[in-house]
Structure 1
Amino acid sequence: MGIRKTAAVLIVVLVALGISAVPAGAAKYSSLEDGGVIMQAFYWDVPGGGIWWDTIRSKIPEWYDAGISAIWIPPASKGMSGNSSMGYDPYDFFDLGEYYQKGTVETRFGSKQELVDMINTAHSYGIKVIADIVINHRAGGDLEWNPFVGDYTWTDFSKVASGKYTANYEDFHPNEVKCCDEGTFGGFPDIAHEKSWDQYWLWASDESYAAYLRSIGVDAWRFDYVKGYGAWVVKDWLSWWGGWAVGEYWDTNVDALLSWAYDSNAKVFDFPLYYKMDEAFDNNNIPALVSALQNGGTVVSRDPFKAVTFVANHDTDIIWNKYPAYAFILTYEGQPVIFYRDYEEWLNKDRLNNLIWIHEHLAGGSTKILYYDSDELIFEREGYGDKPGLITYINLGSDWTERWVNVGSKFAGYTIHEYTGNLGGWVDRYVQYDGWVKLTAPPYDPANGYYGYSIWSYAGVG
């Protein structure tokens, strides 16, 4: 079976027995704060019945073994839709699956205790937990007369079972302070973050929702629909509670994304890169991707330390040629996220584990593009710290390709090794003293075991 696989099996057995097999804080590779790989630990309409927290918990030993640094979990609070809610329609922020309301005690994902057990298991493996924070709006309130609109609105939240963060029409827009903020969502009542009552219960006190999540072990934050409220909200949240954070600013305007990121002190999902990868890898238009990278058309090319990169998520899944896309985000700059269904259901897990290993051991430093055409891309990472750098060769064509490229002085005079095994075995190449080397990439044909990329670095790493 092999030492690595045997150890993974043993860990799974121990966790099933409630025994921690790994010392607390024993993160396998990079930390979340140092750019480690994130697992989005859910997808839209995960199985109901209150099993999801336990499902995630059962996956943690394997994710640890793969080198995952953090898991992003779905919104944990009781939603308007009760046990069918995915959490994006928050009703009672302080009900994590312990009060009977909206037709259920547990949320779709399980009970509060199951959530806490999952978080504790993640921590025992040194894996951080990122909570999905939905604070643009609330849903499921009762009807009340609203003098600011001259009609009845669903803004009465006086009956929340937790008894915490009750609210009425004054806590939503329009109110006596202002008509509106940056945006509304789905017709739900729009929270007035400028009101001290709402700040107190959401983040600005030791009784707040943020404090409650911290108390059960949440480490970091993913803020939903940040277009809907000012960046100052996230900035103030982080000044109170700290922690790594990323915002979902769904837009292709790089200036707007970076402006929000700098104003909030959080990272941002690189949606411009996401759409350029779709154009490149699904439509054989690598020049469009390269142009965006070279001319500041992506977050990662403007400020890689603010960029969180992804191939799919619970809201959007348009990239079909995913192997080259994952090879790109796991060897390029930025902090990558792996989508649950890609890892657990749809793609070759060994290929993704290999890319995570490469990200953690080889991928460091700035990037230079060595060659590209409509269906080929070769780029080099210069290395940083204990990560020596690498050369990634992506080939979208249906044939094997070989190409001479000049990798410069970094690898000149050294033997470089191909680290994916995609060339069919152990392959080394010698880099001439003038920096020229002949590299090979397989075709893109996953059905027949060809994944369309090769990745090279100094021989003997790891």
Structure 2
Amino acid sequence: MMNLLTTYAQRWTAIMAMLGVVFFFSCNDEDLSKPDTSRDDIQVVDVTTHDGRPFQLPESQHTKGRYTAGPGGGVMMQAFYWDVPAGGTWWNTVKGKVTSWGNAGIDAIWLPPASKAQNGPYSMGYDPTDYYDFGNYNQNGTVETRFGSKTELQSLINKAHTENLQVYADIVLNHNSGGQSEYNQYTNSYTWTDFTGVASGKFTRSQHDFHPNWVDNNDEGVFGGFPDLCHEVPYVQDWLWGRSDAVAKYYKNTMGFDGWRFDYVKGFAPWVVNTWNGAVGGFSVGELWDSDVNYLNWWANEANSSVFDFAAYYRMNDAFDGNNLNRLNDDMMWKRNPYKAVTFVTNHDTDEIWNKMLAYAYILTHEGYPCIFYQDYESWLDKNKLNNLIWIHNQKATGTTSILYTDSDEYIARRNGYGGNPGLVVYINNSNSWKERWVPTNWSNTQIKDFTGHSGWYPTTQGDKWVKIQCPPNSYSVWSPNI
């Protein structure tokens, strides 16, 4: 288990209208001890979020009832972290939260690998043994998985569906673990490749189904020294997605999963994910741990899948922790192909960004499909502020993106709106003092406000659509018509 944990810890539409960067005039970029209230077109109300009192989501932004899609789309929740409590309680823990998550604007949850793995009651699931054992067979020292029983998992999935949330399964297809030793004719040695005794009796495997074998010596990559599954073998393909009770179809049709997060896709060719998706459909995202945007975009197109935007992840780390917001001008997957980019601030494997609220303000106002990390939401950050950003994402973050201004401390971008939705302007300030800027909007003679509540200004845009906005220190503001 520790070897697996250590290994994981070490692992790793269209170009936006950046030509629309504007020349700023009459910009007051002095350090401000308090907001400038001298302009006639700005109304000022008391700002209650700077005096230490808890942030309160504006009443008009509270959502009620089950999740319903907003004009900006939804937000994914990674519904676990590394080493969640063992003892078979996790499925019930998540089940108890899906109603509040749906009310907050979460549209999908990503669960950890759900089937029985080598380390039984202690495993996080990334060392899979039996793809059909969801905590209903006594093998690997346990009946339940670390997370609970099959019945509890199905109850969680059903509950999520009643709240109009989709459920994404974490699928580990590169490697297996927990097999018995057998003499391997391809290596002339003993290997742990005998899975003929799996308790479910389904997708039994042997040396012929792993690299090296009669088809090929290797594929794109191996992980952790585990037996490396060979997807070129017709028998393996049949059991993964071909037959009526294949893994993909069982997960979807029997267990009720709606989509897929594919683990360590560097370990096998993208046609595997493409074929899986073609067989069962549903949303999918691949964990291609690489900051090369060309590579990410190539894989997403070849796999017909979304991909985690590691390019954005590392650029945000450079920007917010490295105190250089100019890095947000760099290329990212969401800029190349926003419909196939899943943006994130933290996950179960990597947690490098410390200035997380600025990072969440970035991904929840920009294009791509944002993913929130369980511990950030439930334990580490201000849930009310995250809920506010989720609301802004779902209700306001529409249309293409124009970057309006960047320097080492400031970043301003505009979402240009779509289908009658006016979009927004987001202002991120990584300095220790208030900042103000004149910016071009898409709104003429229109009163706007900061929907985060961080600023008390209610400015009116000029006839030429320009307006002066502000942002508090080490924070963000999000502006849109006051309607």
TM-score when scaled to structure 1? Answer: 0.89
Decide whether the 8 Å contact of 2:70 with 2:395 is kept in 1: no
* 1:322 to 2:356 alignment: yes
Contact 2:341 2:368 in 1 (8 A): yes
- For the pair 1:144 / 2:182, whether they are aligned, the reply is yes
Which one-letter code corresponds to 1:312 in the other structure?
T
Q: CA RMSD in A?
A: 1.9
Deviations 1:197-220 (A, max 9, x none): 111111111111111111111001
2:89: which partner in 1?
Answer: 51
Identity, in percent, stands at 53
Change (3 A) 1:338 1:236: same
Query: Partner amino acid for 1:284?
Result: N
Q: Report the counterpart of residue 419 of structure 1 in structure 2.
A: 451
The change in CA–CA distance for 1:4 and 1:435 in structure 2 (over 3 A counts) is closer
Distance of 2:78 and 2:129 partners within structure 1: 23
Q: 1:187 to 1:255 in 2, by over 3 A?
A: same
Kept in 1: contact 2:447–2:482 (CA 8 A)? yes
Structure 1 residue 153: Cα displacement = 0.4
- Superposed CA deviations along residues 213-253 of structure 1, whole A, max 9, x for unmatched, are 11111001111111111111111111110111111111111
1:105 pairs with 2:140? no
Equivalent residue, structure 2, for 1:392: 426
Q: Residue in 1 aligned with 2:435?
A: 401
How far apart, in 1, do the equivalents of 2:57 and 2:361 lie? Answer: 26
Instruction: Tell whether the 8 Å contact from 2:209 to 2:230 is kept in structure 1 after alignment.
Output: yes
CA shift, 1:29, in A, is: 2.5
How big is the shift at 1:435?
Answer: 2.4
Please give the alpha-carbon distance, in whole angstroms, between the structure 2 residues aligned to 1:257 and 1:428. Answer: 41
Which residue of 1 is the match for residue 217 of structure 2?
179
2:370 paired residue number? 336
**1:360 positional shift:** 0.7
Task: Measure how far apart 1:2 and its partner are.
Answer: 12
Structure 1 residue corresponding to 2:239, chosen from 201, 208, 213: 201
Determine which of 116, 122, 129 is the counterpart of 2:160.
122
Q: Is the 8 A contact 2:73 2:394 kept in 1?
A: no
Does residue 217 (structure 1) correspond to residue 256 (structure 2)? The answer is yes
1:20-419 correspondence to structure 2 within 5 Å: 27-30=67-70, 35-214=73-252, 215-290=254-329, 292=330, 297-407=331-441, 410-419=442-451
* RCO comparison, higher one (Cα < 8 Å, 6+): 2
- Judged with a 3 Å threshold, the aligned counterparts in structure 2 of structure 1 residues 361 and 266 are, in CA distance, closer, same or farther, namely same
What secondary structure is seen at the aligned counterpart in 1 of 2:226?
coil
Q: Distance in 2 between matches of 1:140 and 1:406?
A: 60
Sort the Cα spacing of 1:320 and 1:287 in 2 relative to 1 into closer, same or farther, 3 A. Answer: same
Deviation at residue 419 of structure 1 after TM alignment:
0.3
Alignment CA distance shift 1:72-1:2 (3 Å): closer
Secondary structure at 1:337's aligned position in 2? strand
TM-score, length-normalised on structure 2?
0.86
TM-aligned CA deviation for residue 278 of structure 1: 0.2
Q: Alignment length, in residue pairs?
A: 426
One-letter identity of the residue aligned with 1:391: V
On the 8 A contact 1:270/1:310 being kept in 2, the answer is yes
- Paired residue for 1:438, among 468, 474, 480? 468
Distance 1:3 1:331 in 2: 18
1:359 and 1:418 map into 2 onto residues whose CA distance is 14
Long gaps (5+) in structure 1: 12-21, 445-451
Say whether 1:453 aligns with 2:453: no
How far apart are 1:406 and its partner, in Å? 2.5
The 1:457–1:2 alpha-carbon spacing in structure 2 relative to 1, beyond 3 Å, is closer
Contact 2:364 2:393 (C-alpha < 8 Å) held by counterparts: yes
AA of the residue aligned to 1:362:
K
SS in 2 for 1:69: strand
Moved over 6 A (4+): 1-5
Q: What is the identity, as a one-letter code, of the residue corresponding to 1:345?
A: S
What secondary structure sits across from 2:191 in the alignment?
strand
Unmatched tracts of structure 2, length 5 or more: 1-55
Q: Within 2, Cα distance between the matches of 1:352 and 1:439? A: 22
Distance 1:244 1:443, change over 3 A: same
Pairwise CA distance, 1:433: 1.1
Matched residue of 1:138: which SS?
A: coil
Contact 1:76–1:87, Cα closer than 8 Å, also in 2:
yes
Q: Is the 8 A contact 2:73 2:393 kept in 1?
A: no
Q: 1:188 to 1:35 in 2, by over 3 A?
A: farther
2:404 partner letter: L
Deviation at 1:28, TM superposition (A): 2.2
Once the two structures are superposed, residues 302-330 of structure 1 have per-residue CA deviations (whole angstroms, 9 ceiling, x without a partner) of 11111110000001010000011000000
- The answer for the alignment partner of 2:458 in structure 1 is 428
Question: Aligned partner of 2:248: which letter?
Answer: A
Q: Are the aligned partners of 1:42 and 1:314 in contact in 2 as well (CA < 8 Å)?
A: yes
One-letter code aligned to 2:322: N
Q: SS in structure 2 opposite 1:336?
A: strand
Matched-pair contact (CA < 8 Å) for 1:249–1:269: yes
Q: Kindly state the Cα deviation for residue 369 of structure 1 after the two structures are TM-superposed.
A: 1.1
Q: Distance in 2 between matches of 1:442 and 1:246?
A: 35
Residue number in structure 1 paired with 2:5: none
Distance in 2 between residues matched to 1:336 and 1:93, nearest whole Å: 28
